[in-house]
């Protein structure tokens, strides 16, 4: 027997064992590092921040309907961000691009998948948010310029009008902007061209306060809300009555009510002075059906519905902003501030047992 060869063979076996063992350890270390790395870069989805997405479909700023957006993100329009304290859901919409339905405006917005009827309603939406950007351009004489809608009630039926829109608006060069809400009449008859909005200030000014010239601005509101400043809203509809509550640190809490099933605008004499100045001169001088939104299915919306667009103010001096759109190039619009961006920290929705499917609305508008 060759003792030297046996000894050498044993040594090789032992060495091979330790090399193999060391290799396994290195592989384990590598796997652990990869696992840690993967954990660090794990995506935080919007549905992780506010887990209520089963109640909504998501419309993006390119006009597409994503559907129910659990575990979903789109870096152009819808994603999450952390401000050092909290995770937020980011809704972003350019001034110009493809739109959803018949709107002239882009939106990145949640739309409720069920509709409810105001007279029998017991439905509620709450949200805490901050507006991070409104369009850098737009004709200051146009009431919708530099504004974004952050919450809505929308009708799914007939004219598909909007009994509630919550706006934020800030002029360039101002530190503070305004929060206000709109009621849009549910126009009597089959012609909806005469519809108009009535605006109520929450903090700052209402919709009607505009600039005297294209690039001159009114006085900055003293009690307004700055970009990046948090505020909250509560929208409740119960037994035909809309109840609104707005809160923000260092600002007065404001509450409002509006009857959604009995109109106060059924004759020309009922048209308020604000509307006489804003809408009547451009032919929007309709009256409302006596029963207002009775019998129409309504639903909530939440997000960034950009009100600043590139259409000529000659078409409509209240809604057509003439803002920069770079021909619909999103990257260019984002680069020079021509977009709306809204961050949401919390939200909740209460849906009554009487609510029914809203699928017909999406079928009509997608």
Q: What is the mean pLDDT of residues 114-131?
A: 98
Give the per-residue pLDDT at 102.
80
Would you say residue 297 has pLDDT above 80? Answer: yes
Residue 50, token pair as written in the block: 């506010």
DSSP assignment, residue 118?
Answer: G
Comparing 97-111, 196-210, 306-320, the range with the smallest average pLDDT is 97-111
Would you say residue 114 has pLDDT above 60? Answer: yes
DSSP assignment, residue 269?
Answer: G
Kindly indicate the confidence band of residue 200, based on its pLDDT and cuts at 50, 70 and 90: very high
What count of other Cβ atoms lies within 10 Å of the Cβ of residue 90? 20
Q: What is the pLDDT of residues 18-50, one digit of tens each?
A: 445 455 555 555 555 555 555 567 899 999 999
Kindly indicate the confidence band of residue 101, based on its pLDDT and cuts at 50, 70 and 90: confident
DSSP 305-317: EE---SS-TTT-T
Give the per-residue pLDDT at 55.
98
Would you say residue 68 has pLDDT above 60? Answer: yes
- Separation between Cα atoms, residue 218 and residue 266, nearest integer Å: 33
DSSP 31-56: HHHHHHHHHHT----HHHHS--GGGE
């Amino acid at each position: 027997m060759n003792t030297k060869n046996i000894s050498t063979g044993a040594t090789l076996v032992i060495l091979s064992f330790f090399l193999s063992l060391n290799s396994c350890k290195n592989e384990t270390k590598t796997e652990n590092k990869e696992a840690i790395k993967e954990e660090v870069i794990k995506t935080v989805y919007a549905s992780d921040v506010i887990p209520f997405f089963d109640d909504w479909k998501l419309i993006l700023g390119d006009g597409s309907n994503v559907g129910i957006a659990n575990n979903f993100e789109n870096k152009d329009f819808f994603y999450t961000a952390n401000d050092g304290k909290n995770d937020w859901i980011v809704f972003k919409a350019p001034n110009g691009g493809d739109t959803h339905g018949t709107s002239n405006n882009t939106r990145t917005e949640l739309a409720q998948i069920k509709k409810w009827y105001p007279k029998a309603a017991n439905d509620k939406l709450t949200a805490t948010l901050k507006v991070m950007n409104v369009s850098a351009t737009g004709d200051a004489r146009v009431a919708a310029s530099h504004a974004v809608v952050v919450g809505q009630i929308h009708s799914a039926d007939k004219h598909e009008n909007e009994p509630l829109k919550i706006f934020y608006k800030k002029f360039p060069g101002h530190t503070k902007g305004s929060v206000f809400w709109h009621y849009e009449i549910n126009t009597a008859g089959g012609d909806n061209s005469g519809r108009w909005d009535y605006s109520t200030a929450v903090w700052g000014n209402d919709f009607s306060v505009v600039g005297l010239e294209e690039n001159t601005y009114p006085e900055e509101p003293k009690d307004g809300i700055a970009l990046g400043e948090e505020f909250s809203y509560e929208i409740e509809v119960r037994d035909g009555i809309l109840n609104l509550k707005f809160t923000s640190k260092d600002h007065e809490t404001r509450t409002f009510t509006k009857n959604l099933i009995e109109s106060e605008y059924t004759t020309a004499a009922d048209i308020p002075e604000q509307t006489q100045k804003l809408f009547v001169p451009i032919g929007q001088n309709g009256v409302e059906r006596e029963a207002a939104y009775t019998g129409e299915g309504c639903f909530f919306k939440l997000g960034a519905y950009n009100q600043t667009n590139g259409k000529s103010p000659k078409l409509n001096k209240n809604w057509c902003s003439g803002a920069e759109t770079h021909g619909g190039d999103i990257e260019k619009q984002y680069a020079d501030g021509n977009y709306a961006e809204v961050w949401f920290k919390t939200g909740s929705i209460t849906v009554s047992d009487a609510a029914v499917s809203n699928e017909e609305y999406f079928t009509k508008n997608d």
